[in-house]
Every structure is written in C-alpha cells, then in structure tokens.
Amino acid sequence: MTPALPIHPVPRLIAPLLQRRLASYPVVVVTGPRQSGKTTLARSAAPDAAYLSLEDPDTRAFATEDPRGFLRQLGPQTILDEVQRCPSLFSYLQGSVDADPRPGRFLLTGSSQFERMGANTQSLAGRAGLLTLLPFSMAELQAAGRSPATVDILLQGGLFPPIHDRAIPAADWLQDYVATYVERDVRQILRIQDLSAFQRFVSLCAGRIGQLVNVTSLAADTGISRLTAEAWLSVLEASYLIFRVPPWFTNLSKRLVKTPKLYFCDPGLAAWLVGIRQPSHLSAHPLRGPLFENWAMTELLKARLHHGLCPDLHFLRDKEGHEVDALIETEPRKGHVIEIKSGGTVASDFFDGLDFWRHQLPSHHFQPWLIYGGDTRQARERGTALPWSDLGALLEALAPTR
C-alpha cells in the first residue's frame, strides 16, 4: 500500500504574535493542551533552532540532574518541548538569560499552566513572553479549506489538529486521546488509584458543560469528597482540558449568580466523553445545544488568545434565570454581549436575554450578537445574527485596535 502523503499544516493565527514575542523576549513560552499543535507551531516559527523534547528520558535526566550543564551546551536558539516535565529548569533559565538576554534564545512549550502545577516561573517574570495555543479555530480551518461541512460534524469531531491534519477518524483519535492523556497523564499528576472514579468524574464534567459548576453535586455523583473534586477540577483546568468562565459583576451584584460555568477546551472531546461517536448521534441529543455553546465559547476564547489578550470572557445571569451566554468588556462599560443558540432558524426569543440586559445596564454600551446554527447572516435591530460558519464580523470586532 502506498503511504498517504503528508498534509500541509494549517497556518495558525497566533503565528505573527509568536514572531513578535520572539523578537522581544529571551524566553517565549507556548502552553496549551496536548496535541493542540504547539510543537508544529514552534518549529515553524524557529526553523533553525535546535529541538529537544523533555519527554525523552535521557534529555529529561540531563536537564534534571545537571541543569547548568544542560543549558550551557545549548546553541544560540533552542526549542524545549514539554518543559513541564522538568519544572526545576525555570530557575536556572533565569541565570542563563540574565547573562545573555538576546531575544528569542529559548522557545518553550508545555501542556500545563505551570503556576497551577507548582512550577517556579516567578524567576522568569519580565523575561518571558507567554502565549496559549488551543486546538484549531474555525477561521484557521476555513482559511485552509478544511472546515467541517455541518454543525454536527464540527461538534462530534472537534478541532484538535491531528483529526484535520492526518484525516484520522475523530472517534478513534479521541478514544486514544482520552486513554493516553486524560486517563494516563492527568491521573499520574493526581496520583489517582481508582481509575473508574476518575473516568466517571471526567464524563460527569462533560455532561455538565454550559452549566454552573456544582462541586458538591459532582463529588456526590462520583462518590468522592468535595475536596477531591475541587483538586481534580483544578488539575483538569491546569492541563487545559476544561476551563471555567466566571460571571460578570455590576452594581446589580446582589441579584447576580457568583458561580462560574464549566466548558471543555474542545467540543469533540466533551462529545466523546458523553458517548457521542458519530455526527448522526447529535440530531436529537439533549447535549447538542450545550455542545454548540461550548464550541462557540472556545471560538471566543481563541479570538482573545490569538491576539495575546487576557481571555476576559464572562457571562451574565441573575437569580431569576435571565442570562446572556458571553460578555466581553473591551473598554470600561463597553464591549460585546453574545447569545448562543444551536437552532438553525432565528427565533424571536433568541434575543430575549440580550434585550433584558440591555435595559438593565443603560449606562453600558454592549453590542449585541447572536451565534446560531443556521447559514444566513442577519443584521437585525435587536442584534446581529451570525451563522456558525461565519463569525468573521464578531471576531473582527473583538480584535484590538492598534
């Protein structure tokens, strides 16, 4: 059998920002979930740099046992992959870059939020540029001519690069991803003995996407303590498997809920964890709407990260249930409010939450948007309705002005 030809990598929108950081800082750190494309991005950004992976046992042993000697033998520019495997190296990097502060010397990648995992990154304050890379965005796939043909294909398959770069069946790849990274790496970090309880916990999290985080309920349904559930959530978040979106507070704060909402870094991963194996499984699935919301929230998050901005992603909800799915404040009292609906036809009640909060916050100027599962852009008086396959106007509005 003739081997399949390699597919050209999808250009990443964060690449120009990475080049600017490399021209400004001696150390640049790119973090994100495993298999989000960090190594490919790093090697394309610095093609002449030496490459070392700290996943390699010999390389890791050298870096751990003799960090000064390890750093001395490196060339003028080096990519250190999966650097979370050797957290003690950060302290020694400080001395190296203080002695030679040329920009772009070290490009580090890692699959965890180092501060949350206990790594000592304080020594690199002011010396390192920090970027986060999540799986592909729709805009990246569209520019490469590889975007999913339907909403259900998008939600079931997700946006992890190997699924789109290597044409691997999504269900097969996601099964291996869960077994290799979620159940092995994260479980090892937590030193979990009871794998079945951890599997149940992660699946329960996937079944609660778009909901307020109820740690007590998660713990009870898993059969673990609340303290353990909090620890597991923190490590899932530090490993870029989930993220929590906090509520936005105003002078109406007594009426507002103060609990964050839970999302996964990729809708396909959440879909696999709740048993969705084919796009056809989504047609009448009760989680289709939450999965669509999860996908849209990741697109908003990526739009911020691609520009090197703080995510600043929030939602609005009062104790009576009046809600807007996403709020991004780009200036004091100004920004965007976004409602997310998976339906293929725009219904008048899709705008009810946007209307309610516009009247509740008359001194704020938030532009209203609706992301929905249809295929036609509609400039309505109550807000701009954007189809799932055309978020360009909103993403352009979220871009920083220069």
Residue 28 burial class via C-beta count within 10 angstroms: exposed 0-12, middle 13-18, buried 19 and up: buried
15-132: CATH number: 3.40.50.300
Q: Is the pLDDT of residue 121 over 70?
A: no
Pairing of strands 365-372, 383-387: parallel
Task: Calculate the alpha carbon distances from 192 to 198, 200, 386 in Å.
Answer: 8, 13, 44
Token pair belonging to 36: 């989000």
- On whether the CB atoms of residues 255 and 318 are closer than 8 A, the answer is yes
Q: Is the pLDDT of residue 117 over 50?
A: no
Domain boundaries, the chain: 15-132, 138-398
User: What is the rounded distance in angstroms from the CA atom of residue 175 to the CA atom of residue 272?
Assistant: 7
Number of CB atoms found within 10 A of residue 380's CB: 13
Q: Is the pLDDT of residue 118 over 80?
A: no
What pLDDT, in 10s, does the model give residues 235-284? Answer: 899 999 999 999 998 766 666 788 999 999 999 999 999 999 999 999 99
What pLDDT, in 10s, does the model give residues 82-110? Answer: 998 898 898 899 999 999 999 999 999 99
User: What is the rounded distance in angstroms from the CA atom of residue 18 to the CA atom of residue 129?
Assistant: 9
- Percent of residues, the chain, with pLDDT higher than 90: 77
What pLDDT sits at residue 254?
Answer: 64
Cα–Cα nearest to 294, from 208, 218, 391, 379: 208
What pLDDT sits at residue 3?
Answer: 37
What pLDDT, in 10s, does the model give residues 211-222? Answer: 999 999 999 999
User: What is the rounded distance in angstroms from the CA atom of residue 369 to the CA atom of residue 340?
Assistant: 9
Token pair belonging to 117: 């995992």
- Amino acid identity of 268? G
Single pTM value for the model: 0.94
| Average pLDDT rounded to a whole number, residues 341-347 | 97
What pLDDT sits at residue 120?
Answer: 56
What pLDDT sits at residue 298?
Answer: 98
Cα–Cα nearest to 264, from 112, 132, 135, 387: 135
Q: Is the pLDDT of residue 326 over 70?
A: yes
Q: Is the pLDDT of residue 6 over 50?
A: no
Mean pLDDT of the chain: 92
| Average pLDDT rounded to a whole number, residues 72-77 | 95
What pLDDT sits at residue 401?
Answer: 74
User: What is the rounded distance in angstroms from the CA atom of residue 213 to the CA atom of residue 339?
Assistant: 20
What pLDDT, in 10s, does the model give residues 154-208? Answer: 999 999 999 999 878 999 999 999 998 887 778 777 777 788 899 999 999 999 9
Token pair belonging to 286: 């009760």
